[in-house]
Amino acid sequence: MGEIKKGDKVKCIDDCFLESDTIKFLNLSLPQKGERYIVRETIRTEGQEALLLEEVRNGINGRYEPAFLKYRFEPYSE
């Protein structure tokens, strides 16, 4: 996959999140497959690239805001 950076438009291609107790407990907002988003920030988490999205904000949980791994998205242009 090409470089994704802040301000880029992306489309979610994988919204199969595990139904873990953590997600339920935190009541997280999650990206939905087929929906389009704007990248707010790119970060590294657990050795992988992850995205924070303008349209999905979960607030800081402990030390950081949960981000979504880059493989779940593809670049999108209108």
**Cα–Cα distance list, 43 to 14, 20, 22, 24, 68 (Å):** 19, 23, 21, 24, 10
Average pLDDT on 62-71 reads: 87
* Measured distance CA(43)–CA(48) in Å, rounded: 8
* Measured distance CA(77)–CA(58) in Å, rounded: 25
**For residue 47, what are its two tokens?**
């050795």
- Residue 23 pLDDT: 60
Decide if 34 contacts 11 (C-beta within 8 A): yes
Given pLDDT bands bounded at 50, 70 and 90, which one contains residue 65?
A: confident
- Residue 2 pLDDT: 67
Residue-wise pLDDT for 4-54, tens only, equals: 999 999 999 998 877 665 565 567 888 999 999 999 999 998 889 999 999
Given pLDDT bands bounded at 50, 70 and 90, which one contains residue 74?
A: very high
